[in-house]
């Protein structure tokens, strides 16, 4: 008997459109090809409405006005927590979040699915919350002796109320050049590289437009930026260490990742969901191994399960590998890297479903209630 | 409900597709039509290609449809006004028979066109070709056999082109009309003509030999192909050996000694029987094959050829050394032969390797014979890979040998592959039985939608995989 998998995508996030591609090309298509699963697509609009319809499985639905008509006409989706989880009349066996950014990748959806009591793919709520907060992840990494670049962080109100004081504090603690980032956004949205006071002031104001919490980091010199996708729960399987290729300002922003085909430098490059990259990264074997080791350590200490992608910064001269950030649900699952690592698109989604079920079973073994005489006192 | 798909707007298109897909061979069209119930699911592999012929037939079909509808309307009106029960009954009968009138009515213009226009035109073209071949001063090499004809032709063409002006029949143009078309395009300065002879009925090779007057020949192998029309393997053998009857007594015919049915029909003294070990005094040593191609050394007397083609599989050596022997006899130098061999690339859809996301895909989808299957599986077994994946629908037209041939494929696949992907059809169970007989421990995937599998192959494979895709059935086979 086929299992029913609900795939969640879209969402109230700047990465809404990327999420649609992740869901359709890297999750739903391979799941359908296995012939083992029935798919219930759950599309969350930019305004937060939930829609489920077979037409959502076709990319053409999103390329014109059809998606607007569909979402307008569709009735509010009934979700039942009746000793299980049902969407409309369909009982869901497994959930597969394919969402990026806020209200999806940040633990919100995972909280809902935890309440529903069904297995779901990817990290649980707590790990997702940590992973989606660039400050929290650095704090957790530092507490576990994993090197990170120097950083300071501020609340949005600190910046809106007295940006000069914030600038002064940054300049006292860190040395230019610096990166200014909204703490919770992915896909490099709102990120700036700054080299002086004026640029820093502007960048802080831009970042404060996007997020409640803003982090400022010291740039790593002699930089090689690499990323390591990992899957697994207790036993981890890393993919290849991948080096995104950038030009000009050394910043791999949203346009480069998704719109301009990456920072193409020429030569033999791998074109993946995130533009062009060197796959595997052409770095000394010692740095390659160190990158894998740091990435696996980060994955473990934040409590990630299922899948995540760990971004690292390498100081080539020093031979030091710094943890940069975690992406608990990488765009298109980084399927291009997994294929190059010997795991096909179908194998990847099947493994992820297996990890979800394994974690669910492990969790079910734990005792979540205990009998007490507390109420008898009243 | 499926019956009523005959009344849907897709029905005329499905009929035209069936005609086109069977290459307007009315017996195959009729068989396909009679076994089809759901006409919405006829076009699986491709869609109708709108050629001028199809446009004309479509007009005829819709004209016929309009005529019948008009007749029904007239019958209903007259029947109603004259209160004639019989006319009403005829109208109903016309509606019931409408799909069949369309299906078989469309054959009429095809038959008329064939007998009134096409046949006389073809006869004239064949007579002109006969005269062209009679006057030709070129060495004419005929290639006959159940399999391997195109490969042999292409190796010869590429090697000989290093030192001669060569022309060869293109693609699968191996019928009387195809060869005649080829003759009509010759300039006259050709030094070598390579002519592929097709065979489907007893006497075909004799007829084509008499037309093209070969001065030399190659028999590439004999198997169960076209057994449905030949009825017995003896008839297949005698038909292919019609080339020897025509050429053999006064000239050379090379014969594939690795094909059992050829070997059974040659004498041990025949120097022109080729194998992986050599032919006619040429000795093959140091042979090996990989995804890069096939290497070997061929030596005869003081001449040594270091051969490297980009063809995959040791089974190609026999044909390659034959090409070396022919080229040498026609006066090409060792250097020219080696250069020619370097230019031999895998032919489209025949053991053609390509990379897909780090995996190797060996496209052998034009391979439809059991010897080719064996050669492909031997190659697959010899390659190191993370997963060796074998994809096939099986073979068509194997006559009474169908079960044995496919059980053997299953047994061979069990030795060569980690995953076997079968396209669901009438022979699938036999292959599964063969796998089971060999205690296959790997994964068996049975695919009910081949097109979906082929178009999404990128989702199934990853770096380190080697996938051998052998044969592909068109929609008219089930």
Distances (CA, A) of B186 to A146, B56, B193, B209: 76, 32, 9, 18
Top pLDDT among B449 and B436 is at B436
A342–B463 CB contact, under 8 Å: yes
Q: What is the pLDDT of residue A84?
A: 80
Residues A351, A231 share a domain = yes
Q: pLDDT band for A185, please (50, 70, 90 cuts).
A: confident
Q: pLDDT band for A268, please (50, 70, 90 cuts).
A: very low
| A266 has a pLDDT exceeding 70 | no
The string of pLDDT tens digits covering residues A114-142 is: 988 999 999 999 999 999 999 999 999 99
Which of residues A218, A237, A256 is at a domain's end? A218
Helix pair B334-342, B316-329: axis angle to 10 deg: 140
Residues A165, A108 share a domain = no
Which residue, B37, B29, B9, B39, is CA-closest to B474? B29
Q: pLDDT band for A259, please (50, 70, 90 cuts).
A: very low
Residues A268, A169 share a domain = no
User: Which of B357, B453, B456 is closest, CB to CB, to A339?
Assistant: B357
Contacts of B70 (CB under 8 A, 6+ apart): none
| A256 has a pLDDT exceeding 60 | no
Q: What is the pLDDT of residue A349?
A: 98
Q: What is the pLDDT of residue A263?
A: 38
Q: Say whether B172 sits in a helix, a strand or coil.
A: coil
User: Which of A340, A341, A346 is closest, CB to CB, to B460?
Assistant: A346
Q: What is the pLDDT of residue A275?
A: 54
Q: pLDDT band for A269, please (50, 70, 90 cuts).
A: low
Q: What is the CATH number of the domain that holds A205?
A: 3.30.1490.20
Residues A39, A16 share a domain = yes
- Give the DSSP H or E segment for B166: strand B166-168
Does the predicted model carry a pTM greater than 0.80? no
Q: How many angstroms away from the CA of B75 is the closest CA of chain A?
A: 45
CA A345 to chain centroid:
18
Q: What is the pLDDT of residue A246?
A: 65
A138 within some domain: no
Dump strand ranges (E) for chain A: 3-10, 37-44, 50-51, 79-80, 86-87, 90-91, 94-97, 151-155, 178-182, 192-194, 213-218, 223-232, 236-238, 243-244, 270-272, 275-278, 306-315, 320-327
Q: How many angstroms away from the CA of A343 is the closest CA of chain B?
A: 5
A92 within some domain: yes
Dump strand ranges (E) for A183-281: 192-194, 213-218, 223-232, 236-238, 243-244, 270-272, 275-278
Residues A190, A97 share a domain = no
What sign does the CA torsion over B142, B145, B150, B156 have? negative
Residues B301/B288, Cβ–Cβ less than 8 Å: no
User: Residue A219 carries which DSSP code?
Assistant: P
Which residue, B256, B203, B180, is CA-closest to B195? B180
Residues A238, A256 share a domain = yes
Distance, first Cα to last Cα, chain A: 49
Residues A172, A116 share a domain = no
Q: What is the pLDDT of residue A240?
A: 96
Q: Give the strand order in the sheet containing A90-91.
A: A79-80, A86-87, A90-91
Residues A108, A22 share a domain = yes
Report DSSP letters for A233-257, one per residue: SSSEEE---BEE---TTS---HIII
A200 within some domain: yes
Q: pLDDT band for A257, please (50, 70, 90 cuts).
A: low
| A187 has a pLDDT exceeding 70 | no
HSE value, Cβ hemisphere, 13 Å, CA-based, for A196: 1
Domain hosting residue A347, numbered range: 223-363
Structure tokens at B19: 């005609």
Q: From the CB of residue A323, how many other CB atoms can be counted at a distance below 10 Å?
A: 24
Residues B334/B291, Cβ–Cβ less than 8 Å: no
Q: What is the CATH number of the domain that holds A312?
A: 3.30.470.20
Q: pLDDT band for A322, please (50, 70, 90 cuts).
A: very high
The owner of tokens 């037409």 is A55
What mean pLDDT comes out for the span B2-16? Answer: 89
Q: Say whether A323 sits in a helix, a strand or coil.
A: strand
Q: pLDDT band for A253, please (50, 70, 90 cuts).
A: low
The string of pLDDT tens digits covering residues B177-199 is: 999 999 999 999 999 999 999 99
Residues A242, A208 share a domain = no
A127 within some domain: no
| Total number of residues shown for chain B | 478
A20 within some domain: yes
Strand partners, B79: none
Distances (CA, A) of B379 to B320, B416, B418: 17, 8, 14
Q: pLDDT band for A262, please (50, 70, 90 cuts).
A: very low
| B256 has a pLDDT exceeding 80 | yes
Chain A residue numbers touching B359 (CB-CB < 8 A): 339
Q: Give the strand order in the sheet containing A151-155.
A: A151-155, A213-218, A178-182, A192-194
A130 within some domain: no
Q: Say whether B54 sits in a helix, a strand or coil.
A: helix
Chain A residue numbers touching B455 (CB-CB < 8 A): none
Chain A residue numbers touching B465 (CB-CB < 8 A): 342, 344
B358–A339 CB contact, under 8 Å: yes
| B228 has a pLDDT exceeding 80 | no
Q: How far apart are CA A215 and CA A203, in angstroms?
A: 11
Distances (CA, A) of B47 to B5, B10, B16, B445, B475: 18, 12, 10, 26, 11
Report DSSP letters for A26-50, one per residue: IIIHHHHHHTSEEEEEEEE-TT--E
A340 within some domain: yes
Structure tokens at B352: 């053609």
Residues A259, A284 share a domain = yes
Q: pLDDT band for A261, please (50, 70, 90 cuts).
A: very low
The string of pLDDT tens digits covering residues B357-412 is: 889 999 998 887 888 898 899 999 989 899 999 999 998 877 778 899 999 999 99
Q: How far apart are CA B212 and CA B141, in angstroms?
A: 9
Q: What is the pLDDT of residue B475?
A: 63
Residues A348, A242 share a domain = yes
CB pairs < 8 Å spanning A and B: 41
Chain A residue numbers touching B453 (CB-CB < 8 A): 33
| A205 has a pLDDT exceeding 60 | yes
Chain A residue numbers touching B361 (CB-CB < 8 A): none
User: Which of B386, B453, B459 is closest, CB to CB, to A29?
Assistant: B459
A285 within some domain: yes
In Å, the largest CA–CA distance within chain A is 76
What mean pLDDT comes out for the span A23-42? Answer: 95
| Total number of residues shown for chain A | 378
| B311 has a pLDDT exceeding 80 | yes
ipTM > 0.85, yes or no: no
B462–A336 CB contact, under 8 Å: no
Count of domains observed in chain A: 3
Highest mean pLDDT, choosing among A218-227, B39-48, B79-88: A218-227
- B174: phi then psi, degrees, rounded to nearest 5: -130, 20
If you average pLDDT over every residue of chain B, what do you get?
Answer: 91
Instruction: Show the domains of chain B with their CATH numbers.
Output: 2-105 (no CATH), 135-342 (3.40.1190.10), 352-470 (3.90.190.20)
Top pLDDT among A354 and B366 is at A354
Residues A150/A218, Cβ–Cβ less than 8 Å: yes
Chain A residue numbers touching B464 (CB-CB < 8 A): 342
Q: How far apart are CA B357 and CA A266, in angstroms?
A: 19
Kindly identify which residue of chain B lies nearest to residue A336, measuring between CA atoms: B357
Contacts of A73 (CB under 8 A, 6+ apart): none
* Lowest mean per-residue pLDDT among A26-30, A80-84, B95-99: A80-84
User: Which of B456, B459, B464 is closest, CB to CB, to A342?
Assistant: B464
- Give the DSSP H or E segment for B381: helix B370-382
Which residue, A85, A84, A82, A83, is CA-closest to A42? A85
What mean pLDDT comes out for the span A170-199? Answer: 89
Q: Say whether A279 sits in a helix, a strand or coil.
A: coil
Which of residues A185, A200, A218 is at a domain's end? A218
Which of residues A218, A233, A253 is at a domain's end? A218
What sign does the CA torsion over B410, B413, B417, B422 have? negative
Q: pLDDT band for A272, please (50, 70, 90 cuts).
A: very low
User: Which of B358, B452, B459 is closest, CB to CB, to A30?
Assistant: B459
The string of pLDDT tens digits covering residues A151-183 is: 999 999 999 999 999 999 999 999 999 999 999
Residues A113, A9 share a domain = yes
Chain A residues within 8 A (CB-CB) of chain B? 29-30, 33, 336, 338-347
If you average pLDDT over every residue of chain A, what do you get?
Answer: 89
The string of pLDDT tens digits covering residues A274-292 is: 457 899 999 999 999 999 9
Q: How far apart are CA A272 and CA A336, in angstroms?
A: 5
Q: What is the pLDDT of residue B391?
A: 95
Which residue, A220, A193, A227, is CA-closest to A320? A220
Residues A279/A242, Cβ–Cβ less than 8 Å: yes
Q: How far apart are CA A327 and CA A187, in angstroms?
A: 9
Q: What is the pLDDT of residue A186?
A: 65
| B325 has a pLDDT exceeding 90 | yes
């Amino acid at each position: 008997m086929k299992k029913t998998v609900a795939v969640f995508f879209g969402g109230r996030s700047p990465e809404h459109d990327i999420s649609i591609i992740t869901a359709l090309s890297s999750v739903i298509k391979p799941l359908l090809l296995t012939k083992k699963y029935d798919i219930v697509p759950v599309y969350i609009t930019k305004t937060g409405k939930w829609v489920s319809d077979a037409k959502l499985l076709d990319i053409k639905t999103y390329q014109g006005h059809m998606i607007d008509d569909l979402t307008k006409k569709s009735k509010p989706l009934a979700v039942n927590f009746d000793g299980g989880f049902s969407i409309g009349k369909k009982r869901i066996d497994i959930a597969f979040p394919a969402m990026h950014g806020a209200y999806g990748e940040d633990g919100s959806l995972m909280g809902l699915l935890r309440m529903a009591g069904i297995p779901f793919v990817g990290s649980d709520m707590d790990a997702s919350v940590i992973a989606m907060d660039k400050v929290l992840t650095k704090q957790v990494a530092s507490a576990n002796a994993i090197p990170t670049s120097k950083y300071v962080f501020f609340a949005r109100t600190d910046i809106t109320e007295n940006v000069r004081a914030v600038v002064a504090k940054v300049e006292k603690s860190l040395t230019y050049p610096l990166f200014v980032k909204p703490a919770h956004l992915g896909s490099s949205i709102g990120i700036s590289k700054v080299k002086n006071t004026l640029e820093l002031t502007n960048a802080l104001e831009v970042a404060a437009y996007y997020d409640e919490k803003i982090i400022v980091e010291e740039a790593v010199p002699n930089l090689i930026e690499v990323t390591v996708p990992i899957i697994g729960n207790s036993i981890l399987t890393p993919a290849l260490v991948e080096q995104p290729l950038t030009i000009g300002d050394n910043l791999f922003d949203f346009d480069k990742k998704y719109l301009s085909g990456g920072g193409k430098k020429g030569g033999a490059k791998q074109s993946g969901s995130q533009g062009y990259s060197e796959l595997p990264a052409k770095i000394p074997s010692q740095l390659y191994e160190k990158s894998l080791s740091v990435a696996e350590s980060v994955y473990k200490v934040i409590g990630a399960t299922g899948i995540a992608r760990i971004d690292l910064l390498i100081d080539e001269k020093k031979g030091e590998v710094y943890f940069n950030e975690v992406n608990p649900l990488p765009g298109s699952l980084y399927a291009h890297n997994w294929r190059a690592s010997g795991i096909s698109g179908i194998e990847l989604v099947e493994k992820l479903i297996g990890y979800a079920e394994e974690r669910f079973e492990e969790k079910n073994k734990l005792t979540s209630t205990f009998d007490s005489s507390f109420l008898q006192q009243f | 409900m499926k019956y009523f798909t005959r009344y849907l707007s897709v029905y005329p298109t499905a009929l035209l597709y069936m005609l086109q897909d069977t290459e307007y061979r009315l017996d195959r069209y009729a068989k396909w039509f009679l076994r089809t119930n759901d006409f919405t699911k006829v076009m699986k592999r491709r869609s109708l290609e709108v050629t001028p012929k199809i446009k004309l037939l479509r007009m005829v079909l819709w004209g016929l449809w309009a005529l019948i509808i008009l007749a029904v309307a007239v019958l209903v009106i007259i029947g109603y006004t004259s209160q004639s029960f019989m006319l009403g009954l005829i109208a109903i009968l016309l509606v019931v028979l409408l799909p069949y009138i369309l299906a078989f009515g469309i054959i009429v213009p095809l038959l008329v066109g064939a007998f009134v226009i096409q046949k006389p035109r073809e006869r004239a073209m064949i007579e002109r070709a006969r005269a062209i071949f009679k006057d030709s001063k070129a060495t004419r090499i005929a290639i006959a056999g159940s399999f391997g004809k195109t490969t042999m032709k292409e190796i010869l063409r590429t090697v000989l082109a290093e030192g001669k002006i060569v022309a060869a029949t293109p693609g699968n143009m191996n019928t009387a009309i195809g060869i005649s078309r080829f003759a009509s395009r010759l300039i006259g300065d050709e030094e070598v003509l390579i002519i592929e002879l097709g065979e489907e009925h007893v006497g075909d090779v004799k007829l084509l030999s008499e037309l093209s007057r070969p001065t030399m020949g190659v028999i590439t192998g004999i198997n169960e192909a076209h057994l449905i029309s030949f009825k017995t393997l003896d008839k297949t053998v005698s038909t292919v050996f019609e080339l020897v009857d025509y050429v053999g007594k006064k000239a050379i015919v090379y014969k594939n000694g690795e094909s059992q049915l050829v070997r059974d029909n040659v004498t041990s003294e025949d120097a022109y029987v080729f194998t992986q070990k050599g032919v006619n005094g040429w000795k093959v040593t140091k042979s090996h094959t990989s995804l890069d191609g096939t290497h070997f050394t061929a030596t005869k007397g003081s001449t040594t050829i270091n051969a490297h083609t980009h063809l995959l599989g040791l089974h190609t050596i026999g044909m390659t050394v034959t090409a070396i022997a022919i080229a040498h006899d026609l006066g090409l130098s060792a250097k020219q032969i080696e250069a020619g061999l370097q230019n031999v690339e895998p032919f489209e859809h025949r053991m053609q390797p390509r990379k897909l996301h780090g995996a190797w895909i060996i496209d052998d989808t034009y391979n439809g014979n059991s010897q080719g299957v064996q050669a492909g599986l031997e190659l697959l077994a010899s390659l190191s890979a993370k997963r060796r994946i074998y994809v096939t629908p099986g073979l068509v037209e194997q006559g009474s040998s169908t079960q044995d041939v496919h059980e053997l494929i299953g047994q061979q696949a069990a030795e060569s592959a980690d995953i076997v992907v079968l396209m669901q059809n009438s022979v699938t169970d036999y292959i599964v039985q063969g796998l089971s007989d060999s205690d296959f421990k790997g994964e068996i995937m049975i695919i009910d939608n081949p097109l979906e599998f082929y178009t999404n192959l990128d989702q199934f494979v990853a770096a380190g995989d080697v996938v051998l895709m052998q044969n592909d059935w068109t929609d008219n086979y089930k």
